[in-house]
Structure 1
Amino acid sequence: MPEWPEMENYRSLLSGLLLDKEISGVKVSREKSVNPEPEAFKQGLIGRKVIFVERRAKYLIFHLDNGRRLLLHLMLGGMLYLGSEEDKPKRNTQVEIEFGDKTLYFIGLRLGYLHLLTAKQTEEALSVLGPELLDRRMNEQRFIQLLSGRRGMLKTTLVNQNVMAGIGNCYADEIAFAAELRPDVKIQDLEEQDLAKLYRAIREVLTEAAERGGYMEMPLTADDKLTGGSNDWCRVYDREGEPCVRCGQPIIKTELASRKVFYCGNCQHGK
């Protein structure tokens, strides 16, 4: 599932490609991927312009020139491609939004969705999300306060979107590795210095992954050389049995609350 770095990469790239471009056509191949129903969805988009692209957690929000918002969540397996019919990937698309000679293809939206909402509806839909950890208003002390009094294991806390926004399976493992903490360590057992190190690890891992373009398997455009640059960068995620880049011991794969977990049993510690 695309996480903070992947969606931030999409936001950055699309901001330079779609702004002030008029929507000239809409095609919906899977009715359940959109809301409202397809005809109203199309009528609400055609003729409108995207004036701003925002990211919140794992969501993209396309701000339209009439004040409405197009809310996107890619969920598991979703991805985007901006191009022409000739160069688009040979993958099934659930929604296509045309911007003149370019089309934004929404691929793999079996669980993902596009909702056309008012500003208030968008705010309500996102109101349950926790804070953005790279927001300028967040700092080390506020992060420590955020986790003060919380109970539960590190990984399940990191991926809880109501606690903090944008982290999923992959980067939770990478963050735990960077902080030298086991994913199953209990939050309530961590000392202030551990939480400070965790905060720094979150910022470093997410920032570096976004700068590398995230781990998406497909570029956004035909000439996109950035997206997917993190595919071979992960230190522990999906590296079961490979030597740890810090100590050389094999990476362990296990399960935690029905989620797969990757970590080094030698240089990541518990309490």
Structure 2
Amino acid sequence: MPELPEMENYKFILSQKIIGKTITSVQVNREKSINVSPEIFLNQVQGQKIINVERRAKHLIFYLENGNILLLHLMLGGWMFYGTQEDKPKRTVQIQFTFGQEHLYFIGLRLGYLHLYNSRDLVEKELSDLGPEPLDLAFTLKSFEALVVNRRGRLKTKLVDQQWIAGIGNCYSDEICFHAGVLPTRGIENLNSNEVNTLYHSIQYVLRDATKHGGYMENPLYKGDTLTGGYNNLCKVYDCEGQDCPRCGHKILKGSISSRKTFYCSNCQK
């Protein structure tokens, strides 16, 4: 499932590709992927210019010229492709936006969605329960320490809690714990001040590094895309079961925490 770095990468690339362009045509092949009737969706979206693309947590937000907003959550298996009809991957497309000769294809939206909102509903209803953005300047060590105070639960479970901190999921929770040298099974209430400090800086480092390398999702966003998925081979523990730990040489283990697959090194993570 795309997490903060993947969606930030999509935001960066799509901002260059579609901001200022008009959606000349809309095709909805799966009505369950939208939250209004196809007629309303087409009426409000077709013919509109994209004026901005932003990210919040694991969501991508498309701002339209008429004041409406499209909220995208790719969920498990969702991805996008931008290009011509000839370049389109041979995959089922749930929604398609046309920009002249090029198209933005929304693929794999079986669990994901592209919903239409006005700005008030988006802020007050759909995104109101999200936690702070970990890469915002306002997310300081002091604010992170305040989040940890009087909290309980296993570290992995807290890191993927979108109401606690927004944007971290299965992959980066494991990578952050590895970078910080702490086990994802640790109780957050048992972390000492040095470990909290280290964890904060690991959150910053891992998310920024993964974003810089295009995240771990492998499908290119456009033909010739060499950035997207660049972090996939840089993961230290995620999906690395049985491989040697890059820090100590012991085997990477796979476990389960709250029904989530979890990868870690039992030797150098404490």
TM bucket by the smaller chain? over 0.9
* Identical positions, percent: 54
Q: Which runs of 4+ in 1 moved over 6 A?
A: none
The equivalent of 2:115 in structure 1 is 115
| Amino acid aligned to 2:97 | I
RMSD (Å), alpha carbons: 0.6
Secondary structure of the corresponding residue to residue 149 of structure 1:
coil
Where do 1:130-145 residues align within 5 Å? Answer: 130-145=131-146
The equivalent of 1:267 in structure 2 is 268
| Amino acid aligned to 1:149 | N
Give 5+ residue unaligned stretches, structure 1. none
Where do 1:22-41 residues align within 5 Å? Answer: 22-41=22-41
Secondary structure of the corresponding residue to residue 233 of structure 2:
coil
The equivalent of 2:251 in structure 1 is 250
- Deviations, residues 123-180 of structure 1 (Å, cap 9, x unaligned): 0200010000110111111111111111000000000001000000000000000000
The equivalent of 1:192 in structure 2 is 193
Q: TM-score when scaled to structure 1?
A: 0.98
Where do 1:1-271 residues align within 5 Å? Answer: 1-123=1-123, 124-269=125-270
Aligned length: 269
Secondary structure of the corresponding residue to residue 232 of structure 1:
helix
| Amino acid aligned to 2:122 | T
- Structure 1 Cα separation of the partners of residues 118 and 20 of structure 2: 19
- Structure 2 Cα separation of the partners of residues 212 and 244 of structure 1: 21
| Amino acid aligned to 2:149 | S
- Deviations, residues 191-222 of structure 1 (Å, cap 9, x unaligned): 11111100100010000001000111211110
- Structure 2 Cα separation of the partners of residues 259 and 129 of structure 1: 20
| Amino acid aligned to 1:151 | R
Secondary structure of the corresponding residue to residue 133 of structure 1:
coil
- Deviations, residues 82-141 of structure 1 (Å, cap 9, x unaligned): 011111111111000111111100000000001110001110200010000110111111
- Structure 1 Cα separation of the partners of residues 54 and 33 of structure 2: 20
Displacement of 1:231? 1.3
- Structure 1 Cα separation of the partners of residues 189 and 223 of structure 2: 47
Structure 1 range deviating more: 152-161 or 187-196: 187-196
Q: TM-score when scaled to structure 2?
A: 0.99
- Structure 2 Cα separation of the partners of residues 242 and 58 of structure 1: 29
- Structure 1 Cα separation of the partners of residues 240 and 253 of structure 2: 8
Secondary structure of the corresponding residue to residue 262 of structure 1:
strand
Secondary structure of the corresponding residue to residue 18 of structure 2:
coil
Secondary structure of the corresponding residue to residue 77 of structure 1:
coil
Secondary structure of the corresponding residue to residue 183 of structure 1:
coil
